Structure 1
Amino acid sequence: MRHLDHSRKLDATAEHTTRPPVPRFCMPAMPPLGLMASIENRLHAWRQHLHHNSR
């Protein structure tokens, strides 16, 4: 059984040495969907407002 314990220790140390450093800040790959929908709705309403006022 002692030889099994030794292999577990080697595997645990191998995982810790390959991790990349943690960045100081993180930028998401995609903005929140609610925010994007809100911006699109406001732009659409603004364009409609300009379209109706230009007549």
Structure 2
Amino acid sequence: MRHLDHSRKLDASAERPTRSPMLTLCMPAMPPLGLVTAIQKRLQAWRQRLLV
């Protein structure tokens, strides 16, 4: 009878980590909108200076 085979049981006394390891580097999914707007404005001003 397989269900009585205790040698296949998982060892419950084994140490388990309390939480998953945290990464030291965290990259946000999206940069701050103020930064994006500032970069866009500077690029537009730079293009206008080149065209004039």
Q: Same fold (TM over 0.5)?
A: yes
Counterpart-to-counterpart distance in 1, 2:24 and 2:46: 38
> Once superposed, which parts of structure 1, at least 4 consecutive aligned residues long, lie more than 6 Å away?
none
- Please list every run of 5 or more consecutive structure 2 residues that lacks an aligned counterpart in the other structure: 1-16
- How much is the aligned-residue C-alpha RMSD, in angstroms? 1.6
How many equivalent residue pairs? 36
For structure 1, the 5+ residue unaligned runs are 1-16
> Rg: which structure is higher?
2
| Structure (1 or 2) with the greater helix fraction | 1
Counterpart-to-counterpart distance in 1, 2:23 and 2:50 = 44
| TM-score (normalised: structure 2) | 0.59
**Identical-pair percentage:** 58
Superposed CA offset, 1:1-55 (max 9, x none): xxxxxxxxxxxxxxxx684321112011111100000000000000001111xxx
TM-score scaled to structure 1, two decimals? 0.56
